Structures are given as structure tokens and as C-alpha cells.
Structure 1
Amino acid sequence: MSQAQAYLIRSIEPSDAAALHRIKTAPGVFPNTLQLPYQSLAVTEKQLQEKPANIHSLVACAADGEVAGNGGLIVNDRPRIRHSASLFLVVHDDWQGKGVGSALMRAITDMADNWLGLIRIELKVIHDNARAIALYEKFGFEYEGRMRQEQLRAGKLEDVLVMARLNWPARAAS
């Protein structure tokens, strides 16, 4: 498939649990997330069945319907920070480098800016995940700080970078 491949972006459904489970447990994915290895499918099914209203979760589907990635926003529900959200994004090993992350990021930032009225989107990323950092920078995320030894990965404490994208000028002008 070419870099210019178009993906269908849609809201995640409970019926996507098996596909999401495959993505989250892929060997090249789970080490860069906060997920533990060997997570059961039942946990993923429960997460999708009980998804709170402040979580806006999307999937990117290939032409054949295969779910290639998942991403979205967890909007803060506390009154003074309702203008901000945390971003999450995972792309299956087989689909990395094929435009899935960019397709999801376009949809997520559009939803944040044009439908949710968010001013700030923040995320955490392991310091050595160069591909993810480059993707986030491509969509306007900037480095804000480093959390030293924040995440345990394969028996080693790793630093995590904090990044954010601000959309204040666009919101203030409207």
C-alpha cells in the first residue's frame, strides 16, 4: 500500500474489541504504552462497553476494513481545565509508517479544534520513540518537559517527554 493510502476514520465500536486488543498487544506497540503485556481481551471489551462520555476514540480502517490504528482524546471534565485533553494513539506494527498515524492525527486535531473547542492537547511519549515524536511535531506538538524515570519498560525506568499543542490564537480570534 502506498503512503497516500486513504483510511476510513470512524468512532470506535464495542465490536472493535478484538482488533483493538491485537493492536495494543502487538510486540512493537505495548512497550511504548502504559499497558501491561498479556492483557486479556475481556479487559479491552469492558473498556469499550463502559467508555465514558469524555473519551472520544477513533479507529483508522484500511480498504478491506481491517482496523490499523486507534487514537483519540480524553477531555478533562474538571471545570477550569475543560479546554484541554490528553491524546492517545496506537498503530499496529504492520501499519506503522504507512500514514495511519497521520490520518488519525488529522481527524483528532480536527475534532479538537472544530467540534470540541479545545485549546490544549497534551501527551506523554517515551523519550526514544522517535517515530511518534516526529509525528506529534508534524501536527504542531511541542516539547514541554521531561519526566525522569517515569515509566517502567522491560525492567528499566525510562524518561517520558511531555508534549502539547496549543490552539489559543484560533480560539481567541473567534
Structure 2
Amino acid sequence: MSQAHSYSIRASEPSDAAAIHRIKTQPGVYPGTLQLPYQPLSATEKQLLEQPAHVHALVACNEAGDVVGWGGLIGNDRARTRHAASLFMLVDQGWQGRGVGSALMWAVVDLADNWLGLIRIELKVVHDNAPAIALYEKFGFEYEGRLKRETLRAGKLEDVLVMSRLHWPRRAES
């Protein structure tokens, strides 16, 4: 029987670096991403301290206030592609399948649609990351293509799927 959880979503802060780094380097997380397994904490600290204005990073916190997920959007800063952003998301291996990804996705999609005016959110996902693919499809992402042998994982070249979600804003009524 699954227990309902509520998560608070907020902007990530430099003080979240240790928690995000822990999630990024978990053996139940990095194989399903395009991340390297061994990353120094200093790289995550620098990433959060020097986050550019076009990166919108959020964390999901459990009822105890612990960071259990990290995700957001990397906006395009080129004039002709400012309507699009790339999605990133990581969920603590102990919290996967408990609604953290959905809570983050709701917040990210709201941010994209209602605050940033984005039309396109795109992502890459390793072909066999079925839980992530199901989450993305639940939020309207569609398969666009397959990049054959795009990423190296545990000594084997793996295919990566390209997915996107298009959102056409409604026109203001006169």
C-alpha cells in the first residue's frame, strides 16, 4: 500500500549543494542519467553558486525538510530559441516511485507555461529508464527521436531518446 507524500518545492540554494551532490552520485541515480558517477562536491557547489539567470533549478523537500529531488530548466539564451528550454531532473534513489518526480514536474511545467512563457521543453533520457520515460509521458512529453550509441554507461554505448513537450499559450481575450 502506498503512502501519500507531500513535498515542498522551492528554488535550489547554494546551501543545498551537499544534498544535491549526494543524489547526483547515488548508484541508483547516475546510471539512468547522462552524468558521470564520480563528481566532486566542489563542482556542485560551483554550479549552484554560479548559476546563470537562464537556469531555473528547483528542489523537492520531504516533510522533514530534506532535499529528495532536484530538477529544473536550462533556458536557451540565443534569440531564436528563447522559447525553448532543456529539462533536468534527479530523484533520490530512496524516494523514487513516491511522487517526488511528479511534484517537481508539476512545478517545472507551471514555471515553463505560466511564468517563463516557454513553448518547448526538451530532454534526453537513456532508452531503458522506463520510470523516467513514463513520468515524462504523463506530463505530455512525446518521443522525437533516438540517438544511437549516444552515451557510455558502464563500458557499453547506450541509445538516448529525445523527447519534448510543446505548449501553445492561449491568446488573451479582447
TM-score of Structure 1 vs Structure 2, range by shorter chain: over 0.9
* Corresponding residue number in structure 2 for 1:94: 94
CA RMSD of aligned residues (A): 1.2
Q: Distance in 1 between matches of 2:57 and 2:104?
A: 10
Q: Measure how far apart 1:5 and its partner are.
A: 1.1
Q: Distance in 2 between matches of 1:139 and 1:111?
A: 14
Aligned residues: 172
Q: Measure how far apart 1:21 and its partner are.
A: 0.4
- Residue segments in structure 1 that go unaligned for 5+ positions in a row: none
* Corresponding residue number in structure 1 for 2:159: 159
Q: Measure how far apart 1:3 and its partner are.
A: 4.5
Deviation string, structure 1 residues 29-57 (Cα, Å, up to 9, x no partner): 11122221221111111111111110000
Q: Distance in 2 between matches of 1:133 and 1:17?
A: 26
* Corresponding residue number in structure 2 for 1:119: 119
* Corresponding residue number in structure 2 for 1:173: 171
Instruction: Tell me if 1:136 matches 2:146.
Output: no
Matching of residues 37-116 of structure 1 within 5 Å? 37-116=37-116
User: Percent same amino acid among aligned pairs?
Assistant: 72
- Residue segments in structure 2 that go unaligned for 5+ positions in a row: none
- TM, length-normalised to structure 1: 0.96
Whether the aligned pair in 1 keeps the contact of 2:55 and 2:73 (CA below 8 Å) is yes
Q: Distance in 2 between matches of 1:44 and 1:71?
A: 14
Whether the aligned pair in 1 keeps the contact of 2:143 and 2:161 (CA below 8 Å) is yes
Letter in 1 for 2:155: G
Give secondary structure in 2 for the equivalent of 1:48: helix
Q: Distance in 2 between matches of 1:102 and 1:54?
A: 23
- TM, length-normalised to structure 2: 0.96
Q: Distance in 1 between matches of 2:41 and 2:17?
A: 7
Q: Distance in 2 between matches of 1:172 and 1:7?
A: 30
Whether the aligned pair in 2 keeps the contact of 1:3 and 1:99 (CA below 8 Å) is no
Q: Measure how far apart 1:173 and its partner are.
A: 2.9
Q: Could you list the structure 1 runs, at least 4 aligned residues long, displaced by more than 4 angstroms after superposition.
A: none
* Corresponding residue number in structure 2 for 1:29: 29
